Amino acid sequence: MRSLLAAALLLSTALPALADEVWTTPAGDIVYVEDIGEVAHLAFTAVNGNESQVLEIYVEGLGGNYDHRGTHDGMFYVQGRNDCGAEKTTPNGWSTGTWGKIRIVFDKPGYPSGFDIYGSSCDEELEANPLRAEPK
């Protein structure tokens, strides 16, 4: 993976309470932060040694969805950087010049479920090698 997501990796059944839904990856944890309508806000803290980087992830159709999960597209954003040459604004209103596309593919439709996450930097195509996330 050559995307910003990969770079971060190198730096790297009742309804659940949002902050209780956490997945672990080889690069760090992904936490379900909040729903913004039908958009789920996740935070991925990629850790490598003493360095870490937070990617804010926004996933369409996942907000409040605990029983009908499948393939969901979205975007990730990193604050304080400008790698893409153009700014984008997140669903909760802050802007950044470092962002990319993501696609999450869940193993099963109900909570809890693991997933594969594919990413890309800026407007590039999604990488072919996903990051694996397992429920924690």
Q: What is the CA radius of gyration of the chain?
A: 14
CA angle 104, 129, 106 (to 5 degrees): 25
Question: Which pTM does this prediction carry?
Answer: 0.84
Which tens digits make up the pLDDT trace of 92-126? 899 999 999 999 999 999 989 999 999 999 999 99
What CA–CA distance (Å, rounded) separates 23 from 17?
14
Which tens digits make up the pLDDT trace of 33-57? 999 999 999 999 888 788 888 999 9
The residue with greater pLDDT, 17 or 127, is 127
| CA 57 centroid distance within chain | 4
pLDDT of residue 7: 44
Which tens digits make up the pLDDT trace of 52-100? 889 999 999 999 999 999 999 999 999 988 999 999 999 989 999 999 9
Task: Tell me the three state secondary structure of residue 62.
Answer: coil
What CA–CA distance (Å, rounded) separates 42 from 72?
13
Q: How many CB atoms lie within 10 A of CB 91?
A: 17
